[in-house]
Amino acid sequence: MDPRTDLLTGRPAGAGARPRERADAARNRAKVLDAAAGLFAAGDPRAVTMDDIAKAAGVGRGTLYRRYPDTASIALALLDEHERRLQEEMLRGDPPLGPGAPPSDRLAAFYGAMIDLLEAHLDLHLGAETGGKRLTTGAYGFWRAHVRTLLAEAGTPEPDALADVLLAPLASEVYARQREQGRTPEEIIAALAHLARRLLAPHSP
């Protein structure tokens, strides 16, 4: 996938580009995102409502809903920059996260990078993935395409079926549960790296 892909829509960046944002709209957008980031970080992101965000941002409900249909879309907007950076590293960065390493090492590195992202921004992931929205984002489509490509390169059977299975441990609620149970990020990364190498290494060139 092109690194310029819009992670919120899955379409190429610039496709159907909107007119230049007015100054007052830009100010409102910044207020909304700042307010939402504070609310997501302060408590359970899944409990934050659109009314909460509108009140904290000091904007009307109509202003908020014109830009964002729900809280998940706001969380996705906040995550966008971080996910774009990781996407670029996977496409053009140094191995093993970037091209040039065996598929098993690349999958292990991908797991490590995703756990780092979850650990740093778990509140946003929890807010963005409510109601199964995780599976419909452009970002998830990119992660899935990457994992499927690695499986195919390694000669692993049924890469289409396995791609979603291998992404399941990266669901934010799964990760949050593991952290609540006392698992450290390092332990989770090590376990997922072991899975990656056991599954792909025997098939690697």
Number of neighbours of residue 115 by Cβ within 10 angstroms = 20
Q: Name which of 53, 49, 72 is nearest 63 in CA terms.
A: 53
What is the rounded distance in angstroms from the CA atom of residue 88 to the CA atom of residue 109?
Answer: 14
Each domain of the chain, given as residue ranges in start order, spans 23-69, 80-203
What is the rounded distance in angstroms from the CA atom of residue 205 to the CA atom of residue 200?
Answer: 10
What is the rounded distance in angstroms from the CA atom of residue 12 to the CA atom of residue 59?
Answer: 31
Q: Name which of 183, 166, 165 is nearest 175 in CA terms.
A: 183
Q: Report pLDDT for 21.
A: 62
Q: Report pLDDT for 203.
A: 46
Which tens digit of pLDDT belongs to each residue from 111-148?
A: 999 999 999 899 888 888 776 677 777 889 999 999 99
Q: How many residues does the chain have?
A: 205
Contact by Cβ (8 Å): 117, 82: yes
Which tens digit of pLDDT belongs to each residue from 5-44?
A: 443 334 444 444 445 667 777 888 889 988 988 898 888 8
Residue with tokens 């399941």: 168
What is the rounded distance in angstroms from the CA atom of residue 204 to the CA atom of residue 156?
Answer: 9
Return the amino acid letter for 34. D
Phi, psi of 5 (to 5 degrees): -60, 140
Q: Name which of 100, 97, 79 is nearest 89 in CA terms.
A: 97
23-69: CATH architecture:
Orthogonal Bundle (1.10)
How is domain 80-203 classified at the CATH fold level? Tetracycline Repressor; domain 2 (1.10.357)
Model confidence pTM above 0.85: no
What is the rounded distance in angstroms from the CA atom of residue 120 to the CA atom of residue 34?
Answer: 17
